Amino acid sequence: MKSITFNPKIYLLIICAGLLVACSNDENEDSEDYYFEPVVDEILNIQVDESQTKDFTLVPFESTNLSYEFDDGLHIIIEFQEDALKQLQDFDVNISPIVDIPDIPIGFEFHFGLRFQPEGIQFNKPGKVKVELPTNVSVSKFKGFVFDGGYTGQNNLGEIWNVRMTPVTFESINGNKYAVFDVWHFSGIAGVSGENFECGHPLAAYDCSALKEIIACLIAGKESLSDEDIEEVNNALSLWLKDGIEYFEQNPQEIDEYIEAQWVISEFLCWQGIALKYNSSLQAFGELPERAGSLIGDVLIEELLNYDVECSTIGEPCDQIHNYQTRVEILFTIHELEAAGIITANPQIDINTFCDSAAHKLHYDPILDTTAAYLSYAGPINKYELRWPSDYQSNHSTILRVYAKNLHGQYVELALNEDYTIPETSGRNYSISGNTVNQKQGGSADIWIYLICPKRPIKILVR
């Protein structure tokens, strides 16, 4: 088994969660039977073709459905749900094809790969990347991998990528077969062919990513899963979760603060994601999910209630919003656990009431009032045109009204200098007094209006 170095705090949590062999509560088990060694640990020199990079934007509360085809004919479909993003901000991202992995281990044949940037973006719910399989690829030998970022090692031989096998399902679209990858964070994925290998014992999985690799190994090469396959997956999931729950039930002090509970929560949500991938509900796991939820639910709810009180004492809306964004993942987590029936204690807080002032002041999708004189929408995104009449003998003016959607889903009129600013108050053919634009002679020019929280522009082309 390769040695692994942990942060001491995280190491303590993992050890105590019973995710390592040494913490097994069953003294009758033969620990020599427990092992886990990554199928592939590190790979050098992954070759990315940045000339074929595709750009797109992930926006909070908006779903994403895209389709791309690269030069070699590789076709992909990208899907994210509207509540996938953890952070409440736009992300300009890109995806590039991986064209070769020269140092792929012996026994593997590389078929395709994709790198997402910026690395490290995390999601409340996984996105799906569907990749059309080449016609010569046999599902029976196909395996999927995820990459965790590139770094340069001490020997400076090139970028080193941490690689883990990941569960892959298959889907037929328009008569073609696609491998479906779950993407919980951005870095990279790859599809290869290779022989099968021993999968390891769930109690030897030091964290959920290792458990995920063990389960991926169990189902590798199967286009559809039988009832027996699902039962084997569920047994592995149950063993792993039960061992961790039993430790924390005996040692509740290990997660009595949110900073300590964060790791356990993320591990449990990872487990939940795998479990729901192969089951329509968590009923197959009996009382285990509810027992896990009761361990972490009180910590989450207390943290959230305390923060809601703290938020109401912050005077500046933008400061409220900054703090709101740093804790909103707790709220998403509670909703996920509630929806799954894992947390039964309801904090009576939802996204429309939590830190209520911030929910009103955080704005998305700004628009202008296009009923105003001479103003029309020009597209494609937040772009408008203010076209004065050709008669320059008389002066013209129009009042700009800015609207945007808040977290309540309402479009509301925003207040100048409270919710938005206009940095340039004069130009070659216009001047601005408050939110009134006055005509001046001259050629075309741009006016920019910026939302304050978060800062997001509207462009007006003045002619």
So what's the pLDDT on residue 41?
Answer: 67
So what's the pLDDT on residue 430?
Answer: 84
Higher pLDDT, 208 or 395: 208
Q: What is the CA radius of gyration of the chain?
A: 26
For the sheet with 122-132, list strands across it. 64-69, 75-80, 122-132, 176-185, 168-173
Q: Percent of the chain having pLDDT more than 70? A: 78
So what's the pLDDT on residue 373?
Answer: 85
| pLDDT tens-digit series, residues 79-119 | 998 878 877 678 899 999 998 888 787 888 999 999 998 88
Strand, coil or helix: 267: helix
Higher pLDDT, 310 or 286: 286
Is residue 358 domain-resident?
A: no
Distance CA 54, CA 400 (A): 36
User: Residue 365 pLDDT > 90, yes or no?
Assistant: no
Give the single-character DSSP code of 350.
Answer: -
So what's the pLDDT on residue 4?
Answer: 25
User: Residue 310 pLDDT > 80, yes or no?
Assistant: no
Kindly state the average pLDDT of the residues 381-409.
81
Is residue 78 domain-resident?
A: yes
Higher pLDDT, 321 or 414: 414
So what's the pLDDT on residue 305?
Answer: 76
Most confident of 12-21, 148-157, 294-303, 312-321: 294-303
Distance CA 379, CA 340 (A): 41
User: Residue 296 pLDDT > 50, yes or no?
Assistant: yes
Higher pLDDT, 444 or 411: 411
The per-residue DSSP string of 167-223 comes to -EEEEEETTEEEEEEEEEESSEEEEEEE-------GGG-SSHHHHHHHHHHHHTT-S
So what's the pLDDT on residue 97?
Answer: 93
Is residue 386 domain-resident?
A: yes
User: Residue 76 pLDDT > 80, yes or no?
Assistant: yes
**Closest CA relative to residue 295, chosen from 330, 236, 336, 251:** 251
Kindly state the average pLDDT of the residues 5-10.
26
Mean pLDDT of the chain: 79
Kindly state the average pLDDT of the residues 267-294.
89
So what's the pLDDT on residue 150?
Answer: 59
Is residue 253 domain-resident?
A: no
Tell me the whole-structure pTM to 2 decimals. 0.67
So what's the pLDDT on residue 1?
Answer: 25
Q: For residue 15, give Cα distances in angstroms to 1, 8, 127, 243, 248.
A: 17, 10, 30, 11, 11
| pLDDT tens-digit series, residues 157-172 | 556 677 888 999 999 9
So what's the pLDDT on residue 133?
Answer: 94
Q: How does residue 438 score in pLDDT terms, banded at 50, 70 and 90?
A: confident
CA 19 to chain centre: 25
Distance CA 343, CA 293 (A): 5
So what's the pLDDT on residue 31?
Answer: 44
- Residue-range definition of the domain harbouring residue 439: 363-462
Give residues with Cβ within 8 angstroms of 108, minimum separation 6.
Answer: 40, 143, 192, 193, 194
**Closest CA relative to residue 24, chosen from 198, 153, 183, 202:** 202
Q: Tokens 């977290």, residue? A: 407
User: Residue 151 pLDDT > 90, yes or no?
Assistant: no
Higher pLDDT, 392 or 156: 392
User: Residue 175 pLDDT > 50, yes or no?
Assistant: yes
Q: How does residue 155 score in pLDDT terms, banded at 50, 70 and 90?
A: low
Is residue 210 domain-resident?
A: no
User: Residue 45 pLDDT > 80, yes or no?
Assistant: no
Q: How does residue 16 score in pLDDT terms, banded at 50, 70 and 90?
A: very low
Q: How does residue 349 score in pLDDT terms, banded at 50, 70 and 90?
A: low
The per-residue DSSP string of 68-83 comes to EE-TTS-EEEEEE-TT
Is residue 388 domain-resident?
A: yes
Kindly state the average pLDDT of the residues 245-260.
81
User: Residue 6 pLDDT > 90, yes or no?
Assistant: no
**Which of 179, 196, 213 is the last residue in one of the domains?**
196
| pLDDT tens-digit series, residues 401-415 | 999 887 667 889 999
For residues 85 and 123, the answer to whether their CB atoms sit within 8 Å is yes
Give the single-character DSSP code of 328.
Answer: H
The CATH number of whichever domain residue 174 belongs to comes to 2.60.220.30
So what's the pLDDT on residue 392?
Answer: 60
Kindly state the average pLDDT of the residues 134-160.
74
Distance CA 88, CA 92 (A): 13
**Which of 171, 196, 221 is the last residue in one of the domains?**
196
Which amino acid, one-letter code, is at 185? H
**Which of 196, 219, 242 is the last residue in one of the domains?**
196
Helix axes 288-312, 317-339, angle to 10 degrees: 160
Tokens of 394: 């008389």
What is the number of domains present in the chain?
2
